[in-house]
Every structure is written in C-alpha cells, then in structure tokens.
C-alpha cells in the first residue's frame, strides 16, 4: 500500500468561516496535512465539533478552503466533480424510484452511457452490494442497512476515484452497524475503491481502516496518524484481539486529551 500512487493529497489545508452574529472568524481547520493512497481506507476521528465533516466537505469541493491545497490524482480540487462521491449519514434515496433507478440516477446526470449500459452498470452494482433480489423494490420496503447499501451503490455508479463517507452507519442500530462494517470492506475490495471515512466510533475506525487520522480540537490539525497493523482480512472477531484493544485505548486517550480543553471552554 505504501508504494501505491497518491489518490488524495491535502497540504496545509486551512478553513475559517466568518460568524456574522459574533463579528469574528471561526477557524475550523488549522492546517491539515493528509495523504490517502490508491486502494486505502483512511478514517478520521476526533472530538465532536473539531471539523471532521468540514474537511470532508472541502475534499468534495462543497466548501472552499482559505489556505493550502487539496488534490485528487494530482488535480487541485476547486468544486465538486465526478472523481469524488459522498455518502452521508441519511440515505437520501428518492422514494419514488426503485432501487435500480436510484442507483442509475448519477449515470443519468452524466449522460455518458446508453440506457441499456446504465441499466447494466446499475444492476451489477445492486448485485455487488448484495441486493440482487431487490432491484425493483422501493426504499420504504427496505431496512435501514439495505437503504445504505443502495446509497453506497449509487455513489459507486459514476465510478469515482475517491469515496467520501460521512458517518454512513450512524443512523443504524448497533447490530446492523457491525454487519455493515464488514460488508463495506467487501464492497470496497470488490469495487477496488479508495475511501476517506468519518466516524465517532473508534472501534469502527480500527476495523475498517489501513490508517486512522486523529484530529485535534478546533482549529483542527492532525494530532496522530496511526497505522492499523491488524490482519488484512478483517472480521468482527478481530475486535476480541489484544492488539485491537491496545489500538482502541491509544486512540481514545488521544481524543480525550483534545476533548478536555474543549470541555473547559464550553
């Protein structure tokens, strides 16, 4: 993985918003340096309100940075583009479209493929995420975990270079969430995708990731970048290993150190 080409390169990324009511700048990102290599999944964790989702939005091009650069495949990010796709907490599926037609939506906007090619690609992705028998179902007929699978398939449909996942399993119950963690790893491996993943759950970050970036309190910087030296074939059983617990304790302490100053300010 360390020899794979760079997919994402963030260098000195700074971002501040002007608060009209308070008449002052709110500095959210204080200089983020982060790289993600092809085929890698990197998770970002940190104290609440530290700027994790803001950084993800900047990588997607939804918000403009005030300093530094973000590059995907060597090209500077200045706006949203087809080389990136975002998956949010809520599935945001169109209730009037079937599973297949929800997955086809991005392809219809791109207008690169014929109708038959779009249906074929969407059908393949529905199979890939394990929903082969549900292509003609509507979102209200699916469970929460199934809807998020459709959401992931829809994000994969335009064949993005980088998948951006903003707490995609936060709305799921604990059991479904654990199941979806393992399923996501399978989906990304089959689709050969690179991903940046935001989560509040330390165990989720560890089981999914090649590396975990710990953000400091706002204005965010990278406090630590931790290699997850667990077996490549991850299953839920890995959570029972002593090394998993060591990593969990280490990351928790790092976040706790950053949360204490924020608590005092609050």
Q: Render pLDDT for 111-164 as a digit per residue (tens, 0 to 9).
A: 888 999 999 999 999 999 999 999 999 999 999 999 999 999 999 999 999 999
CA distances from 246 to 199, 202, 206, 241 (A): 19, 12, 11, 9
Tally of residues, the chain: 266
Q: What is the dihedral of CA 235, 239, 240, 244, to 10 degrees?
A: 120
Q: What is the DSSP string of 200-216?
A: S-HHHHHHH-SEEEEE-
CA separation for the pair 146, 99 (Å, rounded): 10
How is the chain split into domains, by residue range? 6-83+161-265, 92-159
Query: 6-83+161-265, which class in CATH?
Result: alpha beta
pLDDT in tens, 17-53: 887 787 788 889 999 999 999 999 999 999 988 999 9
pTM summary value = 0.91
CA distances from 151 to 76, 139, 246 (A): 27, 10, 33
Q: Residue 54 has which token pair?
A: 């803001």
Residue (of 103, 128, 131) closest to 118 by Cα position:
103
DSSP state of 160: -
């Amino acid at each position: 993985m360390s020899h794979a080409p760079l997919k994402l390169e963030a260098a000195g990324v700074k971002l501040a918003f002007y608060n009209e009511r308070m008449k002052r700048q709110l500095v959210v990102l204080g200089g983020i340096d982060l790289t993600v290599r092809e085929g890698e999944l990197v998770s970002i964790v940190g104290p609440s309100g530290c700027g994790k989702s803001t950084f993800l939005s900047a990588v997607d091009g939804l918000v403009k940075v005030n300093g530094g650069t973000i590059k995907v495949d060597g090209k500077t990010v200045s706006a949203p583009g087809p080389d990136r796709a975002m998956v949010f907490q809520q599935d945001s599926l169109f209730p009037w479209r079937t599973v297949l037609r929800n997955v086809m939506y991005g392809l219809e906007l791109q207008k690169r493929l014929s109708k038959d090619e779009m249906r074929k690609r969407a059908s393949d992705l529905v199979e890939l995420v394990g929903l082969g028998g549900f292509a003609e179902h509507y979102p209200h007929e699916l469970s929460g975990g199934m809807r998020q699978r459709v959401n992931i398939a829809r994000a994969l449909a335009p064949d993005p270079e980088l998948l951006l996942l903003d707490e995609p399993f936060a709305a799921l119950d604990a059991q479904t969430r654990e199941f979806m963690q393992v399923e996501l790893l399978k989906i990304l491996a089959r689709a050969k995708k690179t991903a940046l993943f935001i989560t509040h759950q330390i165990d989720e970050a560890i089981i999914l990731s090649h590396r975990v970036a710990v953000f400091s309190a706002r204005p965010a910087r990278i406090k630590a970048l931790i290699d997850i030296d667990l077996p490549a074939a991850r299953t839920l059983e890995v959570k029972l290993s002593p090394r998993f617990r060591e990593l969990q304790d280490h990351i928790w302490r790092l976040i706790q150190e950053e949360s204490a100053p924020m608590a005092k300010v609050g």
